[in-house]
Amino acid sequence: MHKALLLTVALGCAGHSSYANTATTDSVIAPRESPKTSIVYQNQISGMVSDASGPLAGVTVTVVGTSITGQTGADGKFMITAPAGSTLRFSAIGFKPKDVTASNNQLTVFLENDDTSLDEVIVTALGIKREKRALGYAAQDIKADELMKNKNPNIINSLNGKIAGVNVTNSGGAPGASANIIIRGGTSLERDNQPLFVIDGVPMDNSTGQGDNSAFDGNTNASTTNSNRAMDINPEDIESISVLKGPSAAALYGLRAAAGAVIITTKKGKDGATQASISSRFGVNWVNKLPEQQSMFKQGSYYNGSLVTQTFESWGDPFGANEQRYDNMRDFYELASSYDNSFNISGGSPNGNFYLSGSNIYQTGVVPTTDFNRSTVRFNGEQKLGRVTMGANVSYSMSDTRKTLTGSGLWGSGGNGYMEGVLLWPGNDNMKDYLNPDGSNKLLLPEIALENNTDNPYWLINKNPQNDKTDRIVGNVYTHIDVADWFDITYRLGIDNYTTQFSSLTSAGSSVKLEWQDGMMSNTDKKYQYLNSNLMLNFKKQINDWDLGLLLGTTAEDTKVKSTSVRGEGFEIKGFESIENFAPANKYYRQVYDNNRLVGVYGDLRVGYKNLAFLNFTGRNDWSSTLPLANRSFFYPSVSTSLIFTELFEKNSILSYGKLRASWASVGKDTRPYVTNTYLFGPELTIGGGFRNHWTRGNDILLPEKTNAFEVGTDLRFLNDRIGLEFTYYQTNSINQILQPRVSNATGYILTYYNIGELNNRGVEFTLNATPIKRENFTWNTMLNVSHNTGRVSELIGGLDILYVTDVQVGNGKAASYNNGDFMAISGSVWQTDDAGNLLLDYNTGRPLVKTTTTDYVGNREPDFIGGWNNTFNYKNWELSFLFDFRKGGDIYNASDYLMTVYGTSQRTASRGETISFTGSALNPATQAYEMITRDVVADEAFYKDVYSRHTPHFVENVNWWRLRAVSLSYSLPRDLLARTKFIKGATFNATGNNLWLLTNYSGVDPETSAAGAGVVGSGSAGIDYAGVPATAGFTVGVNLRF
């Protein structure tokens, strides 16, 4: 890796001379001459460029009408040769360009801030830049400087609280942990609902590598903190991120963007002298909050009346006055650290540019032995030859994560996770003492067989590690031809290839099922190959007051996924942990292929009138290989319009800008490969032999899912753009849902695929941007966004009232979707009631009776509304920013506390032995009639296990929060001070705090939780809090130097 990095740097530096000629000092700029032109220059012109705060470095100076360019140094000074009377153009990002006639040899130039220049253009579908005023749908973008304020290794987390309608859920505090992003609710009941990610025009995979609907299965070691693949991107390389919120905005991307799209544009070199920068950050993180545990009672159980000590539970006797109580949970976690270093070099000329970068981040976790290490290299280059522009964007990343199992997996799976042990370990035992003198596993329950025992968390993290390593290359090459001023052609060929190696080790002597007690090792290689070919023909013409445009294109995508696994059981040579150290009969192999192809053609017709009224039509037809031949082709259109109604009236300072917009779109979604076919299991070596049916029947008449979306909104600006308001109302209707319900055993199958069900979303978004204070040396910019979404399910046929598409279940609580009800519901067991709502009690014990045959609706995980409030204060060379995000409503299932209650470590079990009075209806055995009774019930171990914990609403909480997501302070050294160094053009020191404050009514660790991470389909696992790595708070300091 290091050799490859050095080679890339060397090649980039060697090729640099073809892009730019630099001056020998910061203040003197040599001319850059066209190789085809020979001009005798008569004047040498020098001067200084400044703004309100002082000299400006990095301003591009161009001799208009020639290829001669230069750049100001760190002191704002420049020197350039040009013919007498030439016009010099001074330009820089964030400032209005200015032309100055060189009437003498010494110039003083003052540039004005351009407050609107960065907001006028946004990158939309297919990488097309459009003016925001022309868009008939809502779209927001985030620039590089905003991303860097609370820089996060996972760029998805950097979007949290900054964009209306975007709900980001972090899966925990482990290094490399995934994050889930949902835009305007889900569009699919049984498929991935995260948006399409596109980087420099190429769609990229953002999966986690774990199964679609399996995240808790300990047997397959999937209950881990897998990373989503957006983590392979170096945030320092990003120029901007545009979020296209619905089908209207993303229709040109086709079926992959039914849930919206996140468009990432990386940095390019700029015309002028070569620039370089390096940045370095160091940070520390700590556990933000821990669950409350009872500290009064020791290990043991009185469930059957007498004390049993060979148990993992904490229902034993009270601690004595002189007995030591170990705080195992708090002592388990440690202070984590992170090191983040990066560099970039860029430059260019009027005919070409380049950008080269490298980075490394290394994070240790709050859980010992866990870490995340990622290195990246990127090269972006472009060269113009007459009417032809050719370019390439390519990045390589290598990431390595060390982790362990978190939750235990499905009950009885044998997949113990260390976080369960941390939550449940009895306080009378020192958890750090996990080894016998001979190095073997020191069992908490030495009298219990291994398969029924429980491993110490320290044994798990040190002896049973999980690792994954990913090598990835994402890139594209493109050619753009300006055939005429009204016609251009762009062709882009992109790839996204990566290999992830997952490895899992279970050391001999672990408390697992019998087959693994002499050790188990599994290795899985996942190879993902994606190829994208895209051709666009763009026509544009202005006729009087009309702006006309037509885009025609075709795309072909080919995706191949190959997963090869080998698992060995029972090491032959003790202590030799290798996949080769298993008997051939104890090795198990598995290989899975997923291949699919998508071909599409599309068109985009744009009409504008006087730059005040805009109309846009798009249409796309896709052919998907995963659908039946008869239904493989499907077409979907969109239409959008916008009107800048303030252009119809005289300008005024109160309402300086007003826009109305509306859009409608339809977009399809195919299915996963091979679901249209029915397969057979291989021949069985039993009586009769032969093949047998697979448990799932294919469906060769499946239709594509389809989402119809409608939105209307307005964008308003007041007081000369000092205040901006955006409001959007939207609704989506997703039909022909492809589901996999159970079928009658008479069919010979267990499951099949059907087009049934609808998913409807309705919501509003509100954004306020304002500059309350704007002075020469001080400004305050603020942004507030609030959004609400309601997701409802309907048209589930065949008696399918509850839909479970994941194994996200703890106890009887489970993520669910209800017919004619909530998409993000929670189902669970409840106490019985009569028709009048009275509790049904056992006449003899007085205990409430539990429903045992059905589960009930107990909550909705979807929040009432979410939002963020972002503020930035600038005073001279200081910048202070802070970001709050908030949530109102929505339920969380505290499954961790459920587990702790059953095992006797929850704080709510500290009141054991007290009496609880119940009043309800009970069946009198003597009269066989129901009558109202009142009984006092002792809240003992049996009550908590058999009655209290089986009423799931006890652990479901309606949650609110207000969180200080990030606070950042930076200071840039004055330019006049840097001018003395001759080579440093900028130096910024920064300090950032993350998750430093949380105000919430949630009794658990952190209400931002997703038990199974970002890899779960359908309604996902957001809002299920179970045995995950606690969220962390942290503080980072860093420096950035520019040369």
pLDDT tens digits for range 742-799: 777 777 787 888 899 999 999 999 999 999 999 989 999 999 999 999 999 998 876 7
Give the separation between CA 677 and CA 674, rounded to whole angstroms.
Answer: 6
Does 62 score more than 70 pLDDT?
Answer: yes
Give pairs for 710-713: CB < 8 Å, separation 24+. 710/663, 710/664, 711/137, 711/138, 711/246, 711/248, 711/662, 711/663, 712/660, 712/661, 712/662, 713/137, 713/138, 713/660, 713/661, 713/662, 713/765
Do 343 and 8 contact (CB within 8 A), yes or no?
Answer: no
pLDDT in tens, 809-863: 888 899 999 999 999 999 999 999 999 999 999 999 999 999 988 899 999 999 9
Asked whether the predicted pLDDT for residue 805 surpasses 80, the reply is no
| Bridge partner residues of 471 (DSSP) | 398, 499
pLDDT of residue 876: 92
Residue 418: which pLDDT band, with cuts at 50, 70 and 90? confident
Per-residue model confidence (pLDDT) at position 580: 94
Q: How many helices (H) and strands (E) does the chain have?
A: 9, 55
Average confidence (pLDDT) over 994-1021: 87
Asked whether the predicted pLDDT for residue 211 surpasses 70, the reply is no
Of 107-116, 180-189, 336-345, highest mean pLDDT = 336-345
Q: Kindly provide the b/e burial profile for residues 411-447, where b requires at least 16 CB atoms within 10 angstroms of the residue's own CB.
A: eebbbbbbbbbbbbbbbbeebeebeeeeeebbbbbee
Q: By the 8 A CB rule, do 394 and 367 touch?
A: no
Residues contacting 594, CB < 8 A, separation 6+:
559, 560, 561, 562, 672, 673, 674
Percent of the chain with pLDDT over 90: 64
Whether the predicted pLDDT of 74 surpasses 90: no
Highest averaged pLDDT of the listed ranges 437-446, 648-657, 674-683: 437-446
User: Is the separation of the CB atoms in 44 and 27 below 8 Å?
Assistant: no
pLDDT at 399: 96
Domains 31-110 and 157-167+190-286+336-404+413-896+959-1042 share a fold: no
Read off the tokens for 751.
Answer: 């499951």
pLDDT over 50 at 39, yes or no: no
Q: Which of 111-125, 165-179, 449-463, 890-904 has the lowest mean pLDDT?
A: 111-125
pLDDT of residue 608: 95
Average pLDDT over residues 96-114: 84
Output 472 or 803, whichever has higher pLDDT: 472
Instruction: State the pLDDT confidence band at 12, using cuts at 50, 70 and 90.
Output: very low
Looking at residues 1011-1033, what average pLDDT do you find? 84
For tokens 């090598």, the residue is: 471
Query: What is the pLDDT, as a whole number, of residue 294?
Result: 96
Window from 242-251, 281-290, 344-353, 938-947 with minimum mean pLDDT: 242-251
| CATH code for the structural domain at 157-167+190-286+336-404+413-896+959-1042 | 2.40.170.20
198's CB contacts (< 8 A; 6+ apart) are 127, 204, 253, 261, 262, 263, 264
pLDDT mean over 571-596 = 93
105-114, 435-444, 448-457, range with the lowest pLDDT: 105-114
Domain ranges of the chain: 31-110, 157-167+190-286+336-404+413-896+959-1042
Tokens describing residue 476: 């594209």
Kindly state the average pLDDT of the residues 345-371: 95
What pLDDT does residue 210 have? 60
Q: In 3D, which of 535, 692, 630 has the Cα closest to residue 126?
A: 535
* Residue that the structure tokens 């929850």 belong to: 906
The bridge status of strand 878-894 relative to strand 1024-1025 is parallel
Burial class (CB in 10 A: 0-12, 13-18, 19+), 863: buried
pLDDT band at 513 (very low <50, low <70, confident <90, very high): confident
pLDDT confidence of residue 213: 44
Q: What pLDDT, on a 0 to 100 scale, did the predictor assign at position 114? A: 65
- Cα Rg of the chain (Å, integer): 32
pLDDT at 691: 67
| Low-confidence winner among 295-309, 539-553, 688-702, 982-996 (lowest mean pLDDT) | 688-702
Least confident of 411-425, 644-658, 712-726, 734-748: 411-425
Higher-confidence position of 782 and 102: 782
Structure-block tokens of residue 324:
């030591």
Inter-residue contact 341 to 319 (CB < 8 Å): no
The separation between the first and the last C-alpha atoms of the chain, rounded to the nearest angstrom, is 26
What is the reported pLDDT for 416? 57
Predicted confidence at residue 27, as pLDDT, reads 36
Average pLDDT, the chain: 88
Instruction: Output the pLDDT for position 33.
Output: 41
What confidence category does residue 407 fall into, taking pLDDT thresholds of 50, 70 and 90? low
| CATH match of 31-110 with 3.30.565.10 | no
Q: Select the more confidently predicted residue: 491 or 1010.
A: 491
pLDDT in tens, 636-670: 999 999 999 999 988 888 999 999 999 999 998 89
Is residue 220 over pLDDT 70? no
Average pLDDT over residues 916-937: 95
Per-residue pLDDT band for 440 (boundaries 50, 70, 90) equals: very high
Residue 619 CA neighbour count, 13 Å, CB half: 5
Model confidence at 305: pLDDT above 80: yes
The pLDDT, as a whole number, for residue 53 is 65
The CA–CA distances, whole Å, from 75 to 23, 26, 109, 1022 equal 14, 8, 13, 52
- Residue 646's SS3 state is helix
- Identify the pLDDT of residue 118: 38
